[in-house]
């Protein structure tokens, strides 16, 4: 990953974490890796585990950020979330996968679209 992409990815995740915390989510972990998969943010919303995929864009050249998650990426995120639950012995708690799409156009405030139970 290029340095700029890494920096903007971290910035997007920082914005997403702030958004979650402002909405009373508890951040459990960031950047959880398992095999080829990664979960950007793992949080808790009351008693529910929430696995969050963050998409951050600074332009619409490739369309809105929330539309950039392919079916294979969705499967990988789901599989990685399941691995996290298994590794941590979590089997009696509800879980969901959310997407936080952030569009940050030049000279504008970032627009955050939080999609609960995205897939």
For 12-36, how does the pLDDT look when each residue is reduced to its tens digit (9 = 90+)? 999 999 999 999 999 999 999 999 9
CA distance 42 to 38: 10
| Mean pLDDT of the 37-42 span | 98
Question: What would the pLDDT profile of 55-114 be if each residue is shown by its tens digit?
Answer: 999 999 999 999 999 999 999 999 999 999 999 999 999 999 999 999 999 999 999 999
Q: Each residue of 42-58: pLDDT tens digit?
A: 999 999 999 999 999 99
pLDDT value of position 9: 66
Instruction: Kindly give the pairing relationship between strand 48-57 and strand 95-103.
Output: parallel
For the cut 60, the answer to whether the pLDDT of residue 5 exceeds it is no
Phi, psi angles (nearest 5°) of residue 86: -65, -50
**pTM, 2 dp:** 0.92
Task: List, in order of start, the domains of the chain with CATH numbers.
Answer: 3-115 (3.40.1350.10)
Examine the pLDDT at 8 and tell me if it is beyond 80: no
If pLDDT is split at 50, 70 and 90, which confidence band does 4 have? low
Give the whole-angstrom CA distance, residue 108 versus residue 99: 21
């Amino acid at each position: 990953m290029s340095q700029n992409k890494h920096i903007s990815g971290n910035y997007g995740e920082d914005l997403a974490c702030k958004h979650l915390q402002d909405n009373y989510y508890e951040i459990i972990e960031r950047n959880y890796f398992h095999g080829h998969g990664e979960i950007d943010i793992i949080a808790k919303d009351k008693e529910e585990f929430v696995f969050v995929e963050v998409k951050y864009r600074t332009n619409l050249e490739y369309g809105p950020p929330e539309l950039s998650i392919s079916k294979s990426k969705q499967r990988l995120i789901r599989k990685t979330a399941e691995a996290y639950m298994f590794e941590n012995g979590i089997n009696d708690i509800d879980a969901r996968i959310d997407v936080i799409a952030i569009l940050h156009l030049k000279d504008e405030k970032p627009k955050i679209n939080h999609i609960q139970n995205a897939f």
